[in-house]
Structure 1
Amino acid sequence: MTASSKLPAREGRSALDPRPLSVKRGVNPHAPGSAHLIMGHTEILATVTLEDKPAPHMRGKKEGWLTAEYAMLPRATNDRQARERNLQNGRRHEIQRLLGRALRASVDLSHFRNQTIYVDCDVLVADGGTRVASILAGHAALHDFCDRLIHSGRLSDWPLTHKVGAISVGLIGEEIRVDLDYAEDKVARADLNVVATDTGLIIEVQGGAEEGPIRQEEYMQLLNTGVEAVKGVMAQLGRELAVIQGV
């Protein structure tokens, strides 16, 4: 058996192909914006809430604020995880900050002065890439939210200034793979979560080597591959959103 044959299988997709993606928006009748996103076997429910109250640090400012929260359901994974009640959970806090920074980069918050947008991302099923899938689901839910504001006449200008997405990319053996599932993430020598726009503008990069240092050129290959993959994923997400009837 060769070393390459021991690598996790890709279920028919090539190294640079992301997992199949589908999204349905408007799934929560109580939220002014929502989306259910499936990426491979990972499923995310994202909802948007608009509160007519400024965030404490934004009082008196010309812009509103957007914040995000992230949680994983107890049976989102193979084994039951304790329900996340502790707001100081380090991993969750880190992911929430990432989601907030990513999604704020997509919205012109001057349209929401003295208001706060909450984007809640809940992992229904986890198979790797939950934070990048949450960014994609959050973007879809914001699209739904803004569409409703426009159609209701509450806004006249489209407030989303960038189409922001994310993807994971990893070094599996000597091969670069896009959109790692859980089995691939476990054996990656290095992996990055790349947050970028559909035009290739970089917002944030998280990650690094797992089994020892990698070469600078390997890191740059991972980054460049991730940026290109985000463009493809956002094109796919755009097609999914385009076929959903407006409200």
Structure 2
Amino acid sequence: MRSDGRRPDELRPFSIEPGFIGSALGSALVTAGRTRVICTASQEARPPAWLKEGGWVTAEYAMLPGSVRPRGRRESGGREKEIQRLIGRSLRAAIELAGLIGPAGPVSLVVDCDVIEADGGTRTAAITGGYVALFLAVQALLRQGSLLQAPTLRPVAAVSVGIVEGTDGVARALLDLPYAEDSRAAVDLNVVMLASGGLIEVQGTGERSSFSRAQLDVMLDLAERGVASLAEVQRAAIGAGR
């Protein structure tokens, strides 16, 4: 039994509120337990100068100072840059970049992910909510006539998995770790997947010990089930936000 009473394969209470920021093309408030992230998708004035064909999607990630205790620092460091690159890669895998073309040429979108409360899993929540914000932004651009055609979108979501020793001294694979579990995990894994089941990125670290191929398979199975559940929440949020 986990400290919050969840089963090993159970997600924290998870919700996505679409259209949370009215001024953005697409937006969502993501809540995973006590972790909350605001995701907004906006069109950039100009695509990157190096872009030769198709459009582009990138991301920025930040934690508000009050999202952690004691107060965090506002400047962007190496951790934040690594996470925003992960979010950007994940969202680019979700969209047909060749389809991001408007009447004036390539369209560039940026998805901002701002953590307002952190209790573990901020990067995975940002990816899951970032996809909803991106989808809604594309729909808004189509309504405005700012895209020549609808680019193909493939739902993408992410979740954390870890191996954590319980109060009974037995180490188990657990899905969707809050900070209390993440901070003492022997193995920490972040998994980004398409809702259709294809892996996009797996970030795994033996924090306190190595892990076997069999343990990795167990964790990936847990992640796959978690992503399937997250995809259902995404579909409902997109339906409500249209």
TM-score by length of structure 2 reads 0.90
1:49 Cα deviation (Å)? 1.2
Name which of 14, 19, 36 aligns with 1:43. Answer: 36
1:199 Cα deviation (Å)? 1.1
Counterpart residue number, 2:189: 192
Counterpart residue number, 1:65: 56
Letter in 1 for 2:134: L
1:12 Cα deviation (Å)? 3.2
Counterpart residue number, 1:95: 83
Letter in 2 for 1:238: R
Q: Cα RMSD between the aligned structures?
A: 1.7
Write out aligned runs for 1:2-151 (5 A). 9=3, 11-58=4-51, 61-84=52-75, 86=76, 89-113=77-101, 114-151=106-143
1:197 Cα deviation (Å)? 0.6
- Structure 1 unaligned regions, length at least 5: none
Tell me if structure 2 keeps the 8 A contact 1:190–1:209: yes
1:181 Cα deviation (Å)? 0.3
TM-score by length of structure 1 reads 0.88
Letter in 2 for 1:108: E
Counterparts of 1:157 and 1:183 in 2: how far apart (Å)?
46
Kindly report structure 1 stretches of 4+ aligned residues shifted beyond 6 Å: none
Deviation per CA, 1:81-118: give whole Å up to 9, x if none.
1112x4xx110111011000000011112232433211
- Structure 2 unaligned regions, length at least 5: 166-170
Mark the CA change 1:98 to 1:154 in structure 2 (over 3 Å): closer, same or farther. same
Counterparts of 1:137 and 1:245 in 2: how far apart (Å)?
13
Name which of 174, 177, 180 aligns with 1:180. Answer: 177
The answer on 1:220 being equivalent to 2:212 is no
Deviation per CA, 1:177-206: give whole Å up to 9, x if none.
110000010111101000001111000001
The answer on 1:229 being equivalent to 2:229 is no
Counterparts of 1:179 and 1:204 in 2: how far apart (Å)?
16
Counterpart residue number, 2:168: none
